[in-house]
Amino acid sequence: MPNIHEAAVGTILALLFWIYLRYKPLRRAPEPPGPAGIPIFGNEFQIPQDKQWLRFHEWSKVYGDVVRLTTMGQPVIILSSAQAAVDLLDARGTVYSDRPRAVMAGELVGWDRGLGYSPYNSRFKEFRRMFQHTLGPRPVQSLIPLQERENARFLLRVLIYPNDFIEHARQSTGAAILMISYGYAIQPNDDPFVKIAEEAMKGFSKSSEPGAFMVDRFPFFQYVPEWFPGAGFKRAAREMREDLERLYDVPYEFVRKQMASGNASPSFTSKYLNEKRDTAAFDDDFVKAAAASLYSGGADTTPSAVTTFILAMVHNRHVQSLGQAEVDNVIGHERLPTIADKGDLVYVGAIVREVLRWGVTVPLGLPHQVSQDDVYRGYSIRKGTIIWANIWSILHDENYFPKPNEFRPERYLKTDDYDPSEILRHCDPLAIAFGFGRRICPGMHLAENSLFLTVATILATFDIAKATDADGNEITPEVEFSGFISHPRPFRCKITPRSETAAELVRSYVVADQSIG
């Protein structure tokens, strides 16, 4: 009998041990390193309100290129190398393509209706399909004549009103995108559609700033009334939402009326209204959101890059001279450069790359979110973790870009003593600056063409120098950038035609256009 009892006990113990092995929680891999936080709040108070990418860059030097933080219990990982960003956001796109909840920008203001803040779902995939048909590498070729026409108008405005170059860059970009999105030709001055779009974009940039609004950290605050103490964000959100609704509705209704009268110009919106409006799957709001997303994707970023180029030329006259010499040698003085000249203007192309690297337009991109548990380099990355790719840090990596704060287009040019292939293979600004994986900017080809065209034609026609004060002393502008969509701090400079021949060339391209004001 004792043997039977011992056998039963042994069997039970063996069964319990098997159950333990079968159902015990898997030992979680260690989490990535990062700065110590405080209970409950984590690293919340260590993250600044502006230029968060610089603090993240500092931490990457201490903890490595994969840094873990927490904010109010929310795990966050910062990726500060091209390798880590590509490994996760590109190679594991099925896991790293979702968006985290964005209470202020998404839910309260309403940007979650469009592409940028859309979850990774069927709606997002349909957005991407639509944009690929309009902005993919092949379709974008049909938009080149429009870009070249608007760029010529930009040059004339700079010739007439050189001090307003920032506004001219905004107007030129807005004109091209409004024509692509809605078939709308802007008015020469104070265009109402441009104003609507600019106000909406101010709201996007402000509401998207990481950590700027308490409601993103404490979502339950979204339910307090506007009169409640500390609820100023509710009033701000309502005003931003009204601006966004105007961007959705006003241009869209313009297209519908033009189509009804038979006068609609071909556009992104008219195309999809023609294709979808009589189908069961037609969604009025979806087309509005898609068109507004197309506009919002480039309306602020491209002018920022153009302004960065002008600032770089003020500080780097030798680069400007080399770019002008290449344009003169390749193009001559009888015509303006075109996008077709891109392959021959190698140094100009290097300037474009360096503009995107030196003054990163969206230093942190938009956040990704992990949709299932994962392990990377032996580190545990939990489902729901927010992932920020620190694009600024990646494009200031001294392993690829020695003296990263210097503007040096020669980084990308092969010589007898230097081969840039490693940079171009692993850390090319033309790729990195537009994001990663399935969330990469769908308008990157349009934006690249626009920036190249602007850089090449400015070099062909204008000299950019420091402004002078009343006593004739040169004014050196600060190299200072800020904002979620990062812009140079407003600065003065002196822009003059390189010659009367250059000025006449600019005038000749729009001589028949009476819409330049």
Binding site per annotation, positions for heme: 441
Can you read off the two tokens belonging to residue 7? 């056998």
Q: What is the pLDDT of residue 389?
A: 98
Mean per-residue pLDDT, 196-225:
88
pLDDT tier, 283 (very low <50, low <70, confident <90, very high otherwise):
confident
The more confident residue out of 509 and 65 is: 65
Q: What is the pLDDT of residue 392?
A: 98
**Beta carbons of 457 and 312 less than 8 angstroms apart:** no
Q: Domain segments of the chain: what residues?
A: 44-509
The more confident residue out of 206 and 23 is: 206
Q: What are 71-86's pLDDT values in tens digits?
A: 989 999 999 999 999 9
Mean pLDDT, the chain, rounded, equals 91
Q: What are 4-37's pLDDT values in tens digits?
A: 555 555 556 554 554 444 334 445 789 999 999 9
Contacts of 106 (CB under 8 A, 6+ apart): 99, 112, 117
Q: Following DSSP, what letter does each residue of 163-218 receive, concatenated?
A: GGHHHHHHHHHHHHHHHHHH--PPPSSS-HHHHHHHHHHHHHHHHHSTTS-GGGTS
End-to-end CA distance of the chain: 107
> What are the helix and strand counts (H, E) for the chain?
18, 11
The more confident residue out of 198 and 310 is: 310
Pick one of 1.10.1660.10, 1.10.3720.10, 1.10.630.10, 3.50.50.60 as the CATH number of 44-509.
1.10.630.10
Q: What is the pLDDT of residue 231?
A: 86
Task: Say if residue 426's pLDDT is above 50.
Answer: yes
Task: Say if residue 224's pLDDT is above 50.
Answer: yes
The alpha-carbon radius of gyration of the chain (Å, integer) is 26
Give this prediction's pTM.
0.90
**Beta carbons of 58 and 73 less than 8 angstroms apart:** no
| β-bridge partners, 369 | 98, 386
Q: What percent of the chain has pLDDT over 90?
A: 78
Q: What are 294-326's pLDDT values in tens digits?
A: 888 888 899 999 999 999 999 999 999 999 999
Q: Of the ranges 123-132, 335-344, 416-425, which is most confident?
A: 335-344
Query: ∠ CA 50-305-349 to the nearest 5 degrees?
Result: 135
Q: What is the pLDDT of residue 19?
A: 41
- CA–CA distances in Å: residue 127 to residues 113, 139, 377: 11, 16, 33
Binding site per annotation, positions: 441
Task: Say if residue 61's pLDDT is above 80.
Answer: yes
Can you read off the two tokens belonging to residue 177? 């995108």
Q: Checking phi first, is residue 97 left (phi over 0); if not, alpha (psi -120 to 50) or beta?
A: alpha
Q: What is the pLDDT of residue 512?
A: 44
Cα–Cα distance measured from residue 495 to residue 508, given in angstroms and rounded to the nearest whole number = 19
Q: What are 156-189's pLDDT values in tens digits?
A: 999 999 999 999 999 999 999 999 999 999 888 7
pLDDT tier, 147 (very low <50, low <70, confident <90, very high otherwise):
very high
DSSP E strands, 242-348: none
Task: Say if residue 459's pLDDT is above 80.
Answer: yes
The more confident residue out of 426 and 209 is: 426
Mean per-residue pLDDT, 181-202:
90
Cα–Cα distance measured from residue 369 to residue 386, given in angstroms and rounded to the nearest whole number = 5
Q: What are 230-282's pLDDT values in tens digits?
A: 889 999 999 999 999 999 999 999 999 999 999 999 999 999 898 876 665 67
Q: What is the pLDDT of residue 484?
A: 86
